[in-house]
Amino acid sequence: MPSFHQPGFIERFAEKLHLIPNLHEELGAELPRLTEPGALTDYPPPEKWDDWVEYEAKRWPRREPKHYMIVPTICFNCEAGCGLLSYIEKETLQVRKFEGNPYHPGSRGRNCAKGPATINQINDTDRILYPMKREGGRGEGRWARVTWDSVLDDIAGRIRKALQEKRNNEVVYHVGRPGHEGYMDRILQSWGVDGHNSHTNICSSGARFGYALWQTYDRPSPDHANASFILLISAHLEAGHYFNPHAQRIIEGMMNGAKLAVMDTRLSNTASMADYWMPTYPGSEAAVLLAMAKIIITEGMYNEAYLREWVNWRQYLAHARPNDEATFDNFILALKDEYKDFTPEFAEKESGLPAQTIIEVARQIGRAGTRFSTHNWRSAGSGNLGGWAVARCLHFLNVLTGSVGTVGGTSPSAWNKFKPNVPNKAPAQKFWNELHFPNEYPLAHYEMSFLLPHFLKEGRGKLDVYFTRVFNPVWTYPDGFSWIEALSDESKVGLHIALTPTWSETAYFADYVLPMGHAGERHDLVSYETHSGLWIGFRQPVLREAKRRMGQSVQFTYEANPGEVWEEDEFWIELSWRIDPDGSLGIKKHFISPYRPDEKIAIDEYYRYIFEHTAGLPEKAAQHGLTPLEYMRKFGAFEVEETSYNKHLRAISTADLQGAQTDASTGLITKNGKALGVMVNGKACEGFPTPSRKQEFFSQTMIDWGWPEYKIPTYLKSHIHHENIDRSKGEFPLIPTFRLPTLIHSRSGNAKWLYEISNRNPIWMHTSDAARLGVTTGDLLRVNTDIGYFVDRVWVTEGIKPGVVACSHHLGRWRRPQDAPGNRWATSLVEIKQVSSEQSSVSSDTQAQSTIHGPRSTIHDPRSTIHGHQWRMRTLDGIRPFKSKDADSSRIFWSDGGVHQNITFPVHPDPISGMHCWHQKVRIEKAHAEDRYGDVMVDTAKSFAIYQEWLKLTRPAPGPNGLRRPLWFNRPVRPVEERFYLNS
Ligand code: SF4
């Protein structure tokens, strides 16, 4: 595909006459990729970005010119990292709007609704503008404004004391919205703490684990634009990531003839555009994928060359068929035998999909061959016990068709994600924090973050300094009342610092609320696997950059942002400097300027260093007469590689091969006891970073760590499998893992345009189920979970599979009367009370449901019901118009902000991947007489009991050689190797 728009004669002529902007001669064709050719590609040309004139829309029909400075930045409203252009009115230095940046290789000038809505977040009249400190008890809602200086001194002193007393594991940073490549790794490792915690195990860990078993790389990077057949598990576009960059490439692929299949229980927007909507019973996806695999194998549609060369089938045969000769033909025979039971009819029984559809799609995949792109994000991977097997079985189809890393296929994520070269990198920490990686979950793909309140309750440790960064577990996580209990207890959480751009249900229980910037108010380096290419994007504080261009000096970003809104990058530098003022802790040396000896690093210098060490960027910048940093400040993005295919074929250098050995039967090349690559067709290739350096169909690791039944891709029955649902009791599986496409996690609440579009989350129910229950759209339902219930309205629709219900998880925001007025576009006013078990209306019938039906364990003991902490939330008032500087706040027409369902879910930790299994078995009944819309009731003692029941499903460390975790597994912010051993 051409990267650059080639102007035609008429276009060149019009440019010469200045009838249209000259995007070609003045800038040269070497600029990054422009958007595709077309009459509407009228982005302002970069040479006019310092003074761009538009007529003021609000003055129409008068023609009142406004002069703008255009400064690029990166969207912060999902992980895709699309480019934005901010339009800053020069006269007032106000940001007026955000539009797409055509020079961004991932988004190419296009955005979803959430990108332009950044302007709402910046102008939100309820936003936090100054650092705030709690007064009174935690959660009381009383706050006082403080200075950044006092904040830094207080927190730094506390961290310094913890480090001096070797309480390193009590300093923890917990990230919600990530998006700054490697920055926090560097900070935490400079402090010497194993303090990184993330939200990933309630998000994408399930799917990631399935991919990691195959190839270590844990995310897919589909090349949709060049595919012949596209298979999506769930509406991943809307459910979270790569919405806009993937959507535009899927459409391109379809316009070039590709077919799209979407496996989703719900008729999502994406499914509605598909050639095949495959509404599977939730949790049955792996059975369907294996049935497709069987068809591809038995009908001989597999890619023999790829399988022969790049799959560890010899290891498999040696283990599973030791008496068979190690030939490829025997491997194919073994595959046929392994998957003989996964017939289309079996898959139909499990999923409800017609066997004929499964056969037809499988054949389309087989025919697509190396041009088969796939994606799996949350949904099935994050909903089910064993959800990780869905990604594992999906990738099996890519392996069978040889579409791994090919044009139109699916690459490993890391091939399309940039790793920066940072200054003064700190060494790995010498601690292992068992609050994050406990021994019960040795294979957990990320930190067991959602179990933290239960670990604290059990006395496994405590937190002295706890940072939450754009992170709202009270609302986003399951079991939010257990979070409220933990965060309210100062003996468990000593100092809670919420770094957040907006008030949140979690910030209400902090000691410090520190305002951090939105996109356009902060620095971050981002790079994501949006397509087959490699790019970096530079998020920058646009008003600071505007001032720089105007010759005004700014020391800290909060001097240019609204109020004293800061950014984490500078905050961490200043904090680190104060933790170690004399350098005795060995921290300070990691914050020295690479350009000015002994001086503190400035934020410009940090990014200058990275950009000067980014392949190709200095040369590109020089072509424009700019330094690398100036280039990134000017254009906001840089394409490091236009395409990134087949990187496993990269040759190992002759120097590296010196002293290496090659195994004659497997081709594995090792050096000093470590795998280096693999010999394929006489060539020493890098391969994949697995023990075999190939795609691991067979996993010795699963055997070594106590799960031999899952040594090859297989199907696990979910905790909400048909067999565990008693229809006679009104039970349904509930899908809570989708969201409406215009919503952000916690941060749509201050984006008025987004809430105007989406503001309620009813229960989706099929017409046949509604008729059976005698309900119609708008009726109130009580949805009973294992720990309580929520009351919501029903939406009767044909857009969901019969027998399954669903509810979007990005609505139901709340604030209490004592809380600062925040997010009033989105929050209902609620009353939260702890009530005794006698007062509770959690029925004994509901209590008897605290049951886990897993594939290996059935625990059902109604006698174990514990009456303990029962919480009730009731809506006092819905969303109302309010007076503010924004006239739109008086025009709010919606009153319904939805229902907070996640807080009624117990934790369901998958015993292998560690992923929270979101789907719920619920019992649905008509609302009781006393029920009101939005009511929530939860018993946290029961949630603790359910945590303990799921804990019993684990098979704890140690593994081989006393290991806590396989050495070849990645781990976020990896400690020194010796800490991987239990008794080290
Ligand atoms: S897809 Fe994500 S990064 Fe792109 S504009 Fe939408 S929210 Fe922003």
Q: For residue 466, how many C-alpha atoms fall within 13 Å in the half-sphere facing its CB?
A: 28
Q: Is 751 in the pocket of ligand 1 (CB under 6 A)?
A: no
Spacing, Cα 201 to ligand 1 middle (Å): 22
Q: How far apart, in whole angstroms, are the C-alpha atoms of residue 761 and residue 925?
A: 18
Higher pLDDT pick, 356 / 745: 356
Least confident range of 37-51, 292-306, 880-894:
37-51
Q: How far apart, in whole angstroms, are the C-alpha atoms of residue 849 and residue 942?
A: 10
Q: Is 243 in the pocket of ligand 1 (CB under 6 A)?
A: yes
Q: Is 247 in the pocket of ligand 1 (CB under 6 A)?
A: no
Q: Is 358 in the pocket of ligand 1 (CB under 6 A)?
A: no
Q: How far apart, in whole angstroms, are the C-alpha atoms of residue 275 and residue 938?
A: 42
Spacing, Cα 515 to ligand 1 middle (Å): 22
Q: Is 239 in the pocket of ligand 1 (CB under 6 A)?
A: no
Spacing, Cα 62 to ligand 1 middle (Å): 34
Q: Whose CA is nearest to atom 2 of ligand 1?
A: 78
- Contact by Cβ (8 Å): 124, 521: no
Spacing, Cα 747 to ligand 1 middle (Å): 13
What confidence category does residue 741 fall into, taking pLDDT thresholds of 50, 70 and 90? confident
Nearest to 431 by CA among 707, 702, 739, 192: 192
- Ligand 1 atom with least separation from CA of 116: 5
Is the Cα dihedral 315, 317, 322, 327 positive or negative? negative
- Ligand 1 atom with least separation from CA of 80: 3
Spacing, Cα 101 to ligand 1 middle (Å): 12
Residues 499-532: pLDDT tens digits? 999 999 999 999 999 999 999 999 999 999 999 9
| CB-neighbour burial class of residue 446 (10 A; exposed 0-12, middle 13-18, buried 19+) | buried
Spacing, Cα 270 to ligand 1 middle (Å): 16
What confidence category does residue 163 fall into, taking pLDDT thresholds of 50, 70 and 90? very high
- Ligand 1 atom with least separation from CA of 81: 3
Q: Is 82 in the pocket of ligand 1 (CB under 6 A)?
A: yes
Spacing, Cα 112 to ligand 1 middle (Å): 5
Q: Which two tokens stand for residue 156?
A: 């730094």
Residues 892-902: pLDDT tens digits? 999 999 999 99
Q: Is 115 in the pocket of ligand 1 (CB under 6 A)?
A: yes
Q: For residue 529, how many C-alpha atoms fall within 13 Å in the half-sphere facing its CB?
A: 21
Query: Strand, coil or helix: what is 648?
Result: helix
Least confident range of 24-38, 284-298, 822-836, 963-977:
24-38
pLDDT over 90 at 841, yes or no:
no
| Most ligand 1 atoms within 8 A of CB, residue of 75, 85, 526, 746 to mutate | 75
Cα diameter, the chain: 87
Q: Is 77 in the pocket of ligand 1 (CB under 6 A)?
A: yes
Tell me what the mean pLDDT of segment 706-721 comes to: 98
Tell me what the mean pLDDT of segment 631-638 comes to: 98
What confidence category does residue 867 fall into, taking pLDDT thresholds of 50, 70 and 90? very low
What confidence category does residue 947 fall into, taking pLDDT thresholds of 50, 70 and 90? very high
Give percent above pLDDT 70 in the chain. Answer: 92
pLDDT over 80 at 2, yes or no:
no
Q: Whose CA is nearest to atom 4 of ligand 1?
A: 82
Q: Hey, which residues does 765 pair with through a beta bridge?
A: 796
| Most ligand 1 atoms within 8 A of CB, residue of 112, 526, 748 to mutate | 112
Q: Which residues contact 79 (CB under 8 A, 6 or more apart)?
A: 178, 179, 240, 241, 242, 528
Spacing, Cα 932 to ligand 1 middle (Å): 36
Q: Which residues contact 66 (CB under 8 A, 6 or more apart)?
A: 53, 54, 55, 56, 89, 91, 96
Its pTM stands at: 0.93
Mean of pLDDT over the chain: 92
The 3 state secondary structure assigned to 228-241 is: CEEEEECCHHHHCC
What confidence category does residue 857 fall into, taking pLDDT thresholds of 50, 70 and 90? very low
- Ligand 1 atom with least separation from CA of 245: 1
Highest-scoring range by mean pLDDT, 13-17, 286-290, 851-855: 286-290
b/e code 275-298 from CB counts within 10 Å (16+ = b) = ebbbbbbbbbbbbbbbbbbbbbbe
Spacing, Cα 79 to ligand 1 middle (Å): 7
Spacing, Cα 742 to ligand 1 middle (Å): 10
Residues 572-607: pLDDT tens digits? 999 999 999 999 999 999 999 999 999 999 999 999
Distances (CA, A) of 70 to 29, 86, 99, 532: 21, 6, 10, 29
pLDDT over 90 at 241, yes or no:
no
- Ligand 1 atom with least separation from CA of 242: 1
- Ligand 1 atom with least separation from CA of 78: 2
Q: Is 106 in the pocket of ligand 1 (CB under 6 A)?
A: no
Spacing, Cα 334 to ligand 1 middle (Å): 45
The CA-CA-CA angle for residues 913, 916, 922, to 5°, reads 135
DSSP H/E element including 454: helix 452-457
Tell me what the mean pLDDT of segment 797-812 comes to: 95
Q: Hey, which residues does 230 pair with through a beta bridge?
A: 260, 373
| Most ligand 1 atoms within 8 A of CB, residue of 78, 236, 739 to mutate | 78
- Ligand 1 atom with least separation from CA of 118: 8
pLDDT over 80 at 235, yes or no:
no
Spacing, Cα 173 to ligand 1 middle (Å): 25
| CB-neighbour burial class of residue 728 (10 A; exposed 0-12, middle 13-18, buried 19+) | exposed
Q: What single string gives the DSSP state of each residue in 322-361?
A: TTS---HHHHHHHHHHHTTT--HHHHHHHH---HHHHHHH
Q: Is 83 in the pocket of ligand 1 (CB under 6 A)?
A: no
pLDDT over 90 at 49, yes or no:
yes
- Amino acid symbol at 739: R
Spacing, Cα 593 to ligand 1 middle (Å): 33
DSSP H/E element including 122: helix 118-123
Q: Hey, which residues does 436 pair with through a beta bridge?
A: none
Spacing, Cα 829 to ligand 1 middle (Å): 29
What was the pLDDT predicted at 864?
36
Q: Is 75 in the pocket of ligand 1 (CB under 6 A)?
A: yes
Residues 395-454: pLDDT tens digits? 999 999 999 999 999 999 999 999 999 999 999 999 999 999 999 999 999 999 999 999
Note the Cα 26 to chain centre separation in Å. Answer: 40
Spacing, Cα 530 to ligand 1 middle (Å): 11
- Amino acid symbol at 641: E
Q: Is 461 in the pocket of ligand 1 (CB under 6 A)?
A: no
- Ligand 1 atom with least separation from CA of 744: 7
Tell me what the mean pLDDT of segment 490-504 comes to: 96
Q: Hey, which residues does 5 pair with through a beta bridge?
A: none
Q: Is 81 in the pocket of ligand 1 (CB under 6 A)?
A: yes
Spacing, Cα 245 to ligand 1 middle (Å): 8
pLDDT over 60 at 121, yes or no:
yes
b/e code 521-546 from CB counts within 10 Å (16+ = b) = bbbbbbbbbbbbbbbbbbbbbbbbbb
What was the pLDDT predicted at 377?
80
Tell me what the mean pLDDT of segment 361-384 comes to: 94
Q: Is 240 in the pocket of ligand 1 (CB under 6 A)?
A: no
Note the Cα 277 to chain centre separation in Å. Answer: 25
Q: How far apart, in whole angstroms, are the C-alpha atoms of residue 506 and residue 963?
A: 35
Q: Hey, which residues does 498 pair with through a beta bridge?
A: 468, 513
What was the pLDDT predicted at 4?
38
Q: How far apart, in whole angstroms, are the C-alpha atoms of residue 129 and residue 959?
A: 50
Nearest to 340 by CA among 389, 391, 390, 290: 290
Q: How far apart, in whole angstroms, are the C-alpha atoms of residue 890 and residue 897?
A: 16
Spacing, Cα 109 to ligand 1 middle (Å): 11
pLDDT over 60 at 735, yes or no:
yes
| Most ligand 1 atoms within 8 A of CB, residue of 74, 104, 107 to mutate | 107
DSSP H/E element including 676: strand 674-680
Q: What does the chain come to in residues?
A: 984
Residue with tokens 């594991």: 169
What was the pLDDT predicted at 960?
97
| Most ligand 1 atoms within 8 A of CB, residue of 111, 242, 739, 757 to mutate | 111
Least confident range of 196-210, 302-316, 391-405:
196-210
Note the Cα 412 to chain centre separation in Å. Answer: 16
| CB-neighbour burial class of residue 518 (10 A; exposed 0-12, middle 13-18, buried 19+) | buried
Highest-scoring range by mean pLDDT, 2-11, 621-630, 836-845: 621-630
Q: Is 112 in the pocket of ligand 1 (CB under 6 A)?
A: yes
What was the pLDDT predicted at 10?
59
Spacing, Cα 784 to ligand 1 middle (Å): 35
Strands 780-784 and 788-797: antiparallel
- Contact by Cβ (8 Å): 511, 138: yes
Spacing, Cα 683 to ligand 1 middle (Å): 41
Q: Cis omega before residue 61 (within 30°)?
A: yes
Q: Cis omega before residue 958 (within 30°)?
A: yes
Q: Is 128 in the pocket of ligand 1 (CB under 6 A)?
A: no
Q: For residue 399, how many C-alpha atoms fall within 13 Å in the half-sphere facing its CB?
A: 26
Spacing, Cα 632 to ligand 1 middle (Å): 20
